[in-house]
């Protein structure tokens, strides 16, 4: 389970490159800034535009010397982009430049350094559909090779066939054909406010002792796929495939201990292709196709179906014989779908995924690639609340290096063009990094290694490109073995001293991560992997306990982590405070519950520095200040009350972080909530949670931990049969007596502050039954159909209570009938021989038949099927685009509804089900390029021919009854501005509104079109309308408004100037579809 990784110094050779420049490109001449400037200039390319699709090396070196190249490139020595150890499996290499808008490209220069050899190809066109522009053999000697061009494109692709191709700089000439769109990548800072006790953890295994895992709040579990599934579909969870472990019990233990578990499901299952590692696809399958990962996506579905929060149909559960089918256990929320997919340190490439390949697998694991694989694939299809964690990246980059983010950006680029929903198919971004001086090098402290700054670049990247995604650091850590200090950085430290440094640096690493904005961080790892305390195997002594063979004895770091986690429970990072002394660093944390705060103070050095008697200035006026000293052999740390003088306390600062807790003064108590009438249980006991909050002088909550609870009877004595714990949970036993009781909550810090409330206990007796279920049911044409009813027994206070219900169904005359029955579960069965009419569903309490309820159900055969929108306010699409490539799924599903009368005036039948299909309108022939799933979502493939189709729904209770809905499928071919004046008089005052119209040829759009948008051949809201002056600049005082007027209405201000203007429309779906019209403004 241990993996080895190369450090940044090993990133030295060339390989597969695909770079995307997706920030706005800036031309060096102001003449190019207008949307229609015709003067070719050098387009300035910047490093922050790049996406390196190998995820390796610094691809920014291809565009890092644009200024030196000059307006006309001159010879010079330029830096070359090197990838990773010249590994052949990484070839061919490539790059994509996204200029942000369409350009006329007039020329491309490539710098051809001495010694370079091999073909370098440049292509253009839409991503993943490249058209070759030219190929350069690079046979020059430190020269610029010029290539003329005459193409219109937004994208350029570069590729090279081997590491001998050393092209080191590219310069592109041209001019823009359209305005730069408004910035779409504005940073959106993301904060999940995860408290410290849920944000820090370790990497562990199923056989790690639960008591040791309690030192952390998060467990990233190294979990081989084959632990559960050695044979396809034969999942073994409890016990596992090797009969050693019980994963049900393991995850339940972690859940009960308040620990967040995230299994990192790594490696291959041998039944896939005979390998225990490598890409989990069949031999010969395409690793770029999400469909190839169906077995992996199926396993992820099974995992989330069992341990997630949402039950799934049992017929989708796959377990081995003898294993119980379980679903919705609620033990897990996070699932990681690999470990280090960018494993370039494996020389043969057997475990390496390119970013595109990994994106394809992640898309399958996320939701079955938008359910293209089927409904039982991917974690989201099993549990909508599940969160997919992308496999942690081994080499995500270095500070200031744009390629640091390239692997994830390349995955996003793939997702943008291969998923129609625009979703990046992972909820959590995941990176690894170790702070040291190189491969097997001496360790660097978090401060020496600029850990915070290094992590902040990833937070900024997330906020810019993928806001709303969690960002985790799931591997970092330090060895304690003396053999892992070859440069002698640790000096003559003893084994205990190296443990001390590891403990200090792990806590300081957590502080760096928390302050940088990382959402969760897990240290590598829970235990050592080598018994020799002086070994020189990297990562083998980085545990916070010794090895299994030596008893997993806790190191100092175990105790530090335990105490640090608990001391800052419920708190989040607040800010860094500038200290007077440079050898003192201060971070503050604030409580999510209210006014409790914490300061963490330490020296960022490694030479044993201490600052005694440091005066720590505190915010506010805390009533109590306590320091927590992290201490070996103590999971709580050593607490000490501190004296506040002039708003400050004196502390001794060392390289071990010191925690200083402050409490505000208790001044009040909120009312007690949750204290309504409570039924005495018939047996055992029942729990009712109550709550009250201590508040400070500003009425800010101080947290429920400050509340003390008690319960007394009407005479003020301790109540029999009742108890209340420190969390406010009231337990009522069956032996309790009915009557009134007093609940008292008081502030522990000041018992005089208290609130009381009276509760009433009563003996519950059944008083009624509530029936829920459909009002109409279908009589099937043959066989039988079913519908489920539910009954809830309620007591005299309308509270639900236990009780067995007897069910029966009667006809209109009050008689039982044989062809309409209801069983003891409330399942109504209607045979095809049943007579139409009204029937009564009766539910009565088995122990007291006088407690009963009834509900009327109308039985009728299905006579008509209508197709409507499945959403109450959803659109029912009839005009639908055929996508240019791939496929689209209509975002608003269709729904079929049966009616008891052919004229639709009867009752709507609620238990009917349907078979959907799509056929050609003229021939009735079925089509294989469109499909409708069981939920009514229509998918249209790019191979669909334009024309009229029928979506058909057939009643399963009566196949003779069906309904259809006409669909008109289009492809977009062209557009023109078809109506509107050529000359407009400028108004004397205010403004004038002038309407124009457009025509669309061969109509199709990249999104479904609303019916009410289609008026003849006009699609008013499906084009972008613009107007430009004679210089090609956006016109002043002339605008096309989206609101309140239609988008094709020109607003002519009285301030507008006479002259010739150009109106341009551009399809909002396909920017290559445009039309222009020249108009003249007169007057003034």
What is residue 1043's predicted lDDT score, i.e. its pLDDT? 41
- Report whether pLDDT(134) > 60: yes
- Report whether pLDDT(705) > 70: no
Q: Identify the sign of the CA torsion 892, 896, 901, 903.
A: positive
What is residue 874's predicted lDDT score, i.e. its pLDDT? 55
Q: What band does 571 get if pLDDT is binned at 50, 70 and 90?
A: very high
Residue 238: both structure tokens together:
């409890």
The rounded distance, in Å, linking the Cα atoms of 403 and 58 is 5
Q: Picking from 8-17, 19-28, 442-451, which range would have the lowest pLDDT averaged per residue?
A: 8-17
* pLDDT one-digit tens code per residue, 315-331: 999 999 999 999 999 99
What is residue 889's predicted lDDT score, i.e. its pLDDT? 78
pTM: 0.65
Q: Picking from 320-324, 543-547, 762-766, which range would have the lowest pLDDT averaged per residue?
A: 762-766
The rounded distance, in Å, linking the Cα atoms of 665 and 943 is 71
Per-position DSSP letters for 179-217, written without gaps between them: PPPPP------------HHHHEEEEE-TTS-HHHHTT-S
Summary mean pLDDT of the chain:
85
% the chain with pLDDT above 90? 52
Q: Please name the residues in contact with 289: beta carbons below 8 A apart, sequence gap of 6 or more.
A: 360
215 compared with 29, residue with greater pLDDT: 215
What is residue 276's predicted lDDT score, i.e. its pLDDT? 84
* pLDDT one-digit tens code per residue, 380-412: 999 999 999 999 998 886 545 544 458 898 999
Question: Which CA distances in Å does 961 have to 781, 918, 956?
Answer: 10, 16, 9
The rounded distance, in Å, linking the Cα atoms of 62 and 49 is 11
The DSSP letter of residue 633 is: T
SS (HEC) of 826-870: CEEEEECCCCCEEEEEEEEECCEEEEEEEEEEEEEECCEEEEEEC
- Report whether pLDDT(22) > 50: no
The rounded distance, in Å, linking the Cα atoms of 747 and 245 is 46
For residues 849, 852, 858 and 862, what is the CA-based torsion angle, rounded to 10 degrees? -80
Closest CA to 337 of 260, 266, 238, 415: 266
Residue 942: both structure tokens together:
């790019």
| pLDDT, average across residues 666-688 | 83
Q: Please name the residues in contact with 1076: beta carbons below 8 A apart, sequence gap of 6 or more.
A: 977, 1062, 1063, 1064, 1065
Q: What band does 491 get if pLDDT is binned at 50, 70 and 90?
A: low
Closest CA to 226 of 285, 276, 176: 276
- Report whether pLDDT(1032) > 60: yes
Question: Which CA distances in Å does 867 have to 759, 774, 889, 1011?
Answer: 53, 20, 18, 15
Bond preceding residue 525 cis, omega within 30 of 0: yes
* pLDDT one-digit tens code per residue, 295-305: 999 999 999 99
* pLDDT one-digit tens code per residue, 136-177: 999 988 889 999 999 999 999 988 888 888 888 999 999 999
**Beta bridge mates, 94:** 159
- Can you tell me whether residue 417 is helix, strand or coil? helix
Residues making up the chain, counted from first to last: 1084
- Report whether pLDDT(528) > 90: yes
Question: Which CA distances in Å does 660 have to 508, 568, 657, 800, 916?
Answer: 15, 10, 10, 48, 65
Residue 235: both structure tokens together:
């999942």
What is residue 186's predicted lDDT score, i.e. its pLDDT? 61
911 compared with 627, residue with greater pLDDT: 627
What domains appear along the chain, each with residue ranges and CATH number?
A: 8-176 (2.60.120.260), 202-565 (3.20.20.80), 569-663 (2.60.40.1180), 668-763 (2.60.40.10), 766-861 (2.60.40.10), 864-970 (2.60.40.10), 974-1082 (2.60.40.10)
The DSSP letter of residue 399 is: T
Q: Please name the residues in contact with 18: beta carbons below 8 A apart, sequence gap of 6 or more.
A: 51, 52, 53, 54, 94, 95, 96, 157, 355, 356, 410
Phi, psi of 665 (to 5 degrees): -75, 130
Three-point CA angle 236, 238, 239, nearest 5°: 80
Q: Residue 367 belongs to what H/E stretch?
A: helix 355-371
Q: What band does 734 get if pLDDT is binned at 50, 70 and 90?
A: very high
| pLDDT, average across residues 477-506 | 75
């Amino acid at each position: 389970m241990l993996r080895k990784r190369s450090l940044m110094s090993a990133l030295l050779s060339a390989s597969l490159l695909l770079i995307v420049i997706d920030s706005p490109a800036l031309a060096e001449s102001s003449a190019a800034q207008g949307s229609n400037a015709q003067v070719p200039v050098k387009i300035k390319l910047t490093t922050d535009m790049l996406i390196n699709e190998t995820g390796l090396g610094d691809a920014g070196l291809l565009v890092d010397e644009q200024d030196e190249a000059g307006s006309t490139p001159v010879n010079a020595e330029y830096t070359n982009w090197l990838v990773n150890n010249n590994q052949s499996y990484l070839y061919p290499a490539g790059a994509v430049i996204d200029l942000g808008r369409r350009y006329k490209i007039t020329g491309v220069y490539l710098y051809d350094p001495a010694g370079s050899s091999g073909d370098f190809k440049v292509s253009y066109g839409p991503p993943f559909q490249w058209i070759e522009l030219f190929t350069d053999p690079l046979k020059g000697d430190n020269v610029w090779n010029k290539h003329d061009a005459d193409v219109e494109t937004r994208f350029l692709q570069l590729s090279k066939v081997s590491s001998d191709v050393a092209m080191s700089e590219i310069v592109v000439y041209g001019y823009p054909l359209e305005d730069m769109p408004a910035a779409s990548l504005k940073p959106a800072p993301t904060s999940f406010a995860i408290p410290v006790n849920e944000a820090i953890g370790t990497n562990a295994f199923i056989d790690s002792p639960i008591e040791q895992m309690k030192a952390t709040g998060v467990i990233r579990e190294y979990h081989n796929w084959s632990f559960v599934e050695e044979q396809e579909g034969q999942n073994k969870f409890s016990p596992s495939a090797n009969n050693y472990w019980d994963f049900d019990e393991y995850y339940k233990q972690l859940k009960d201990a308040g620990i967040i578990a995230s299994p990192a499901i790594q490696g291959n299952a041998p039944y896939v292709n005979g390998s225990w590692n490598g890409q989990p696809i069949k031999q010969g399958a395409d690793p770029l196709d999400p469909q190839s990962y169906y077995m992996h996506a199926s396993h992820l579905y099974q995992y989330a179906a069992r341990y997630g929060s949402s039950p799934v149909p049992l017929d989708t559960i796959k377990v081995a014989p003898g294993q119980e089918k379980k679903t919705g256990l609620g033990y897990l929320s996070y699932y990681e779908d690999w470990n280090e997919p960018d494993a370039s340190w494996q020389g043969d490439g057997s475990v390496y995924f390119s970013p595109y390949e990994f994106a394809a697998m992640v898309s399958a694991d996320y939701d079955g690639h938008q359910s293209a694989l089927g409904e039982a694939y991917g974690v989201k299809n099993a549990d909508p609340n599940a969160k997919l964690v992308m496999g942690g990246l081994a080499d995500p980059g270095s500070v200031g290096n744009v390629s640091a983010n390239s692997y994830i950006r390349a995955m996003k680029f793939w997702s943008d063009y291969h998923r129609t929903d625009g979703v990046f198919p992972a909820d959590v971004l995941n990176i690894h990094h170790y702070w040291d001086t190189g491969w097997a090098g001496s360790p660097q402290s978090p401060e020496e290694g600029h850990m915070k700054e290094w992590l902040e670049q990833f937070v900024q990247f997330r906020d810019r490109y993928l806001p709303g995604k969690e960002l985790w650091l799931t591997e970092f850590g330090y060895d304690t073995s003396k053999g892992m200090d070859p440069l002698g950085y640790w000096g003559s430290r003893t084994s205990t001293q190296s443990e001390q440094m590891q403990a200090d640096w792990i806590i300081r690493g957590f502080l760096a991560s928390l302050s940088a904005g990382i959402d969760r961080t897990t240290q590598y790892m829970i235990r050592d992997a080598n018994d020799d305390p002086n070994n020189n195997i990297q990562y083998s002594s980085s545990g916070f306990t010794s090895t299994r063979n030596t008893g997993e004895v806790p190191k100092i770091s175990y105790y530090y982590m335990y105490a640090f986690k608990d001391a800052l429970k419920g708190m989040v990072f607040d800010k860094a405070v500038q200290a007077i002394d440079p050898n003192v660093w201060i971070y503050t944390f604030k409580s999510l519950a209210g006014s409790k705060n914490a300061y963490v103070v330490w020296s960022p050095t490694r030479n044993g520095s201490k600052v005694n008697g440091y005066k720590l200035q505190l915010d506010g006026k805390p009533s109590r200040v306590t320091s927590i000293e992290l201490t070996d052999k103590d999971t709580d740390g050593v607490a000490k009350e501190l004296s506040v003088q002039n708003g400050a306390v004196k502390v001794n600062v060392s390289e071990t972080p010191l925690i200083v807790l402050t409490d505000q003064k208790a001044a009040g108590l909120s009312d007690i909530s949750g204290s309504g009438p409570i039924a005495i249980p018939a047996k055992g006991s029942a729990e009712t949670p109550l709550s009250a909050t201590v508040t400070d002088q500003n009425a800010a909550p101080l947290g429920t931990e400050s509340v003390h609870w008690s319960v007394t009877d009407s005479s003020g004595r301790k109540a029999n049969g009742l108890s209340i714990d420190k969390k406010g949970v009231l337990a009522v036993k069956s032996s309790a007596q009915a009557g009134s009781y007093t609940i008292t909550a008081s502030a522990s810090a000041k018992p005089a502050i208290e609130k009381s409330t009276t509760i009433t206990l009563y003996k519950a007796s059944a008083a009624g039954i509530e029936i829920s279920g459909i009002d109409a049911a279908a009589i099937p044409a043959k066989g039988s159909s079913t519908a489920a009813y539910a009954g809830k027994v309620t007591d005299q206070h309308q509270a639900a209570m236990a009780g067995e219900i007897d069910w029966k169904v009667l006809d209109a005359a009050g008689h039982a009938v044989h062809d309409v029955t209801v069983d003891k579960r409330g399942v109504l069965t209607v045979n095809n021989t049943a007579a139409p009419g009204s029937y009564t569903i009766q539910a009565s309490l088995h122990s007291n038949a006088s407690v009963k309820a009834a509900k009327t159900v109308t039985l009728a055969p299905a006579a008509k099927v209508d197709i409507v929108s499945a959403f109450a306010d959803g659109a029912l699409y009839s005009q639908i685009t055929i996508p240019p490539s791939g496929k689209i799924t209509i975002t608003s599903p269709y729904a079929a509804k049966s009616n008891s009368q052919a004229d639709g005036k009867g009752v709507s039948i609620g238990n009917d089900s349907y078979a959907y299909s799509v056929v050609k309108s003229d021939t009735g022939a079925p089509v294989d390029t469109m499909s409708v799933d069981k939920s009514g979502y229509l998918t249209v493939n790019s191979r669909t021919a334009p024309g009229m189709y029928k979506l058909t729904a057939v009643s399963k209770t009566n196949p003779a009854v069906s309904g259809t809905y006409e669909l008109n499928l289009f492809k977009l071919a062209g557009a023109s501005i078809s109506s509107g004046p050529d000359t407009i008089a400028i108004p004397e005052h205010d403004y004038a509104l002038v309407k124009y119209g457009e025509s669309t040829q061969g109509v199709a759009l990249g999104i479904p079109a609303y019916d009410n948008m289609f008026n003849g051949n006009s699609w008013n809201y499906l084009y972008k309308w613009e107007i430009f002056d004679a210089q090609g600049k956006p016109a002043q005082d002339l605008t096309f408004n989206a609101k309140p007027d239609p988008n094709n209405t020109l607003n002519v201000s009285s301030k507008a100037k006479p002259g010739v203007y150009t109106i341009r429309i551009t399809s909002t779906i396909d920017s290559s579809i445009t039309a222009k019209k020249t108009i003249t403004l007169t007057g003034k």
